[in-house]
Amino acid sequence: MALAVLQLVAEAPTHPYEIKQKMRERGIDRAISLKGASLYDTVERLAKDGLIEPIVTNRDGRRPERTIYKITQAGGDELESWLRRMLEEPSQEYPRFGAALMFIGALRRKDEAIKVLERRALALEAEIAAVDAMIRTVPVEVPRLFVIEDEYVQAMRRAELGWLRSTVAELNAGSLEWPEMLEAFEWPMS
């Protein structure tokens, strides 16, 4: 969120509501959760840290007061430094799916595990098709650089889909062992 706020304020002085609008218009909300409070908290934290600063507070009619922020030199330097680190340094991420796979045995039955993985594969296929369709509608004058994050996410979806299909095939063939003890396990009654 802070990275997006810094980038948008670097483009032009703006207020938080306009930042939120631009994030939606540009599809930034596909990569970053846009919960209202977190945006305002982020703006407040960036201002407190001296990375952005208020330049004017105004009120338009009966609308609430709006503070317009601009990026500071320290904010511009931090934006570049932060982005450089994020792009060049691999980091450990903690996807929900990976965590769920650690405990897939809790489903107990192999056929149930196969069903949920197949449903996930179908959902991924639908997402891939929808984003491919969206990418095809991007006007030719829009530089490809502005959709490379979508290309990256699509590549990750396709890799996951390939892995899912392979894993389901292994479960069906029995080459990925499903311990019999899981099928026989009974949850304790309370």
pLDDT digits (tens, 9 = 90+) for 29-54: 878 887 766 888 999 999 999 999 99
Domain-terminating residue out of 88, 115, 147: 88
Q: Say if residues 49 and 35 touch (Cβ distance below 8 Å).
A: no
Q: pTM higher than 0.95, yes or no?
A: no
pLDDT digits (tens, 9 = 90+) for 52-83: 999 988 777 677 778 999 999 999 999 999 99
- Provide the domain count of the chain: 2
Residue 24 lies in a domain: yes
Residue 189 lies in a domain: no
Model pLDDT, residue 189: 65
CA distance 65 to 59: 5
Domain boundaries, position 83:
2-88
Q: Say if residues 68 and 58 touch (Cβ distance below 8 Å).
A: yes
Kindly give, in sequence order, each residue whose CB lies less than 8 Å from that of residue 71, ignoring residues fewer than 6 positions away. Answer: 6, 9, 10, 51, 52, 79
Average pLDDT, the chain: 90
Q: Say if residues 23 and 32 touch (Cβ distance below 8 Å).
A: yes
159 CB-contact burial (10 Å; exposed 0-12 / middle 13-18 / buried 19+): exposed
Kindly give, in sequence order, each residue whose CB lies less than 8 Å from that of residue 90, ignoring residues fewer than 6 positions away. Answer: none
CA distance 24 to 32: 10
Model pLDDT, residue 34: 77
CA distance 141 to 150: 17
User: Do 70 and 106 lie in a common domain?
Assistant: no
Model pLDDT, residue 184: 75
